[in-house]
Structure 1
Amino acid sequence: MTTEEFYKDLSYVNASRENRLKNAKLVLRDMSLFPKLLDILFMVDDKVSCKAAWVFEFVCSEYIYAIVPHLDQFTINLKKIHLDSAVRPVAKVCELIAKEYDSKLPNPLKKTLTSVHKERIIEACFDWMISGQKVAPKAYSMETLFLFGKDSNWIHQELVLILEQDFQKESAGFKARAKRTLQKIKKSKKQA
């Protein structure tokens, strides 16, 4: 399937879980579609990029290692994502990457994720935290920054500042997630 053909298929994707899952399974069965999915995802001013992002999230939720050979492309282009419907699933994938990287078990992401990749993800997450994003991308970003901050104290320090500064003006969902993240940071400092 060409990128153009795949683009056309993705243009019919709707927000239903069943529809997104069907398209994710198509990619999981034929991983040659994964780079095409990324190419469409990074057509950031095109509404179909949001649909690609939905499918991308489902693929990575099912098989996070699909991203491993594409970490350069993914992390370089992260900061370009700006449409709300694309930011949320991409932020979720960043969280999935951080969780896998934080895993106690050896895995392909631990071997492949470089400090440059992490820096790009961290930068994107901080941008989502301080911009006018909705709660979900901010929640995923909080978790990503918490996990990557275990190795870099400055990340936790910056995250605490942002959470405390934004706490009063944010929604109840944000406040609940922020409170939990602040508690986890405090607990991790005690253990260190």
Structure 2
Amino acid sequence: MVTEFQKKLEYVTGYRVNRQKYANEVLDNPELFPELIRLCFEVSDKNASKAFWVLEFVCYQKLEWLEDHLDFFCSNIKNLKEERAIRPAAKICQLLVHSHFKKKEIQLSEKHLEEITESSFDWLINDIKVAPKAYSMRTLYILGQHYDWIHPELQTIITKDFSNHSAAYKAVAKEVLKKIK
């Protein structure tokens, strides 16, 4: 059964103002949030990536809403295949890790941290666009401040792949490598 909110996802576009419009609908109607999370991971639905676009914008303002759904979110991010969904998922992971370690607002379990770490490394080494890789580098940098094995691995991957990537990748790679040293 297709819900009204699910039908609305048809009209979500990549424009920021449009994504914010639908995020505002969720922010104004918090009861839609569990449905939004569910729709993000319905990979057979052509609008799953659009749901992720909306979720990213919701998380900028109400990241704490994700706390009750962390088990589901973290255990399913590894199953994402569509780059249009991976990019916002990687950004949300960065927000979560930053909030957990830097702001002490979100409580991530060791399992959540492990799943985010695994997915971030996968996105970094797989052949996908630069934005998820950049978010993953930053996420792994923060994680590496708390897990001593991550920075050496991250440094090796970034250094090995450096010459094969775009200027945008190289800029973030330099930023992260500078912080590691």
Same structural fold, with TM-score higher than 0.5 when normalized by the shorter chain = yes
Question: What residue ranges of structure 1 are gaps of 5+ in the alignment?
Answer: 187-192
Q: CA deviation at 1:3?
A: 6.1
Distance 1:134 1:184 in 2: 23
Match of residue 111 from structure 2:
116
Q: Which of 166, 175, 179 is the matching residue for 2:174?
A: 179
Q: Which of 148, 152, 158 is the matching residue for 1:153?
A: 148
Report the secondary structure of 1:113's partner residue.
coil
Comparing 12-21 and 64-73, the one that deviates more: 12-21
Q: Which runs of 4+ in 1 moved over 2 A?
A: none
Match of residue 133 from structure 2:
138
Match of residue 32 from structure 1:
31
Distance 1:97 1:160 in 2: 22
- The answer as to 2:56 corresponding to 1:61 is no
Q: CA deviation at 1:46?
A: 2.5
Between the two proteins, what is the percent identity of the paired residues?
45
Task: Give the alignment's Cα RMSD to 1 decimal.
Answer: 1.3
Q: Contact conserved, 1:3 with 1:36, CA < 8 A, in 2?
A: no
Q: TM-score, normalised by structure 1?
A: 0.91
Q: For residue 102 of structure 1, what is the amino acid of its counterpart?
A: F
Q: TM-score, normalised by structure 2?
A: 0.96
In the TM superposition, what are the counterparts of 1:16-95 in structure 2 within 5 Å?
16-95=15-94
Q: Contact conserved, 1:146 with 1:156, CA < 8 A, in 2?
A: yes
Post-superposition CA distance 1:117-140 (Å, at most 9, x none):
000000000000010111100000
Report the secondary structure of 2:3's partner residue.
helix
Post-superposition CA distance 1:80-120 (Å, at most 9, x none):
111111111110001111111122x442x1xx310100000
Q: CA deviation at 1:32?
A: 1.3
Q: For residue 145 of structure 1, what is the amino acid of its counterpart?
A: L
Distance 1:137 1:106 in 2: 24
Post-superposition CA distance 1:31-74 (Å, at most 9, x none):
11111001110012322001101000000011111111110000
Distance 1:137 1:71 in 2: 20
Q: Contact conserved, 1:57 with 1:89, CA < 8 A, in 2?
A: yes
